[in-house]
Amino acid sequence: MRKEGTIIRWDDAKGFGFIRSPAIAQDVFVHVRDYRASGDEAPRQGLRVTFEDILVGGKGPRAIAVRPAAEAFASKAGRELTRPAASTRKRAASSPAPDRRRADAWWVLPLMLGYGMALTWLVSQRLLPSWVLPASILLNLAAFAAYWRDKYAARTGRWRMREDTLHLWSLAGGWVGAWFAQQVLRHKSFKASFRTAYWFTVMTHFAAAAGISWILRST
Taking only the tens place, the pLDDT of each residue in 131-158 is: 989 999 999 999 999 999 988 887 777 7
For strands 28-31 and 48-55, give the pairing.
unpaired
Decide: 16 and 33 in contact? Cβ < 8 Å: no
Judging by beta carbons within 10 Å of its beta carbon (0-12, 13-18, 19+), is residue 7 exposed, middle or buried? buried
More confident: 176 or 102:
176
Quick: pLDDT tens for 86-99: 444 444 444 444 45
Q: Please, what are the domains in the chain?
A: 3-73 (2.40.50.140), 100-218 (no CATH)
The dihedrals phi and psi of 173, each to the nearest 5 degrees, come to 120, 0
User: Per mean pLDDT, which of 72-76, 99-103, 168-172 is the most reliable?
Assistant: 168-172
78 confidence band (pLDDT: 50, 70, 90): low
* Mean pLDDT rounded to a whole number for the chain: 82
CA–CA distances in Å: residue 196 to residues 44, 120, 189, 200, 202: 18, 28, 11, 6, 10
Residue range 146-172: average pLDDT? 88
Tell whether the model's pLDDT for residue 15 goes beyond 70: yes
Tell whether the model's pLDDT for residue 121 goes beyond 50: yes
Decide: 173 and 139 in contact? Cβ < 8 Å: yes
- CA 84, 89, 90, 91: dihedral to nearest 10 degrees? 90
Decide: 183 and 189 in contact? Cβ < 8 Å: yes
What pLDDT does residue 176 have? 93
What pLDDT does residue 148 have? 94
Q: Which residue, 17, 61, 16, is CA-closest to 7?
A: 17
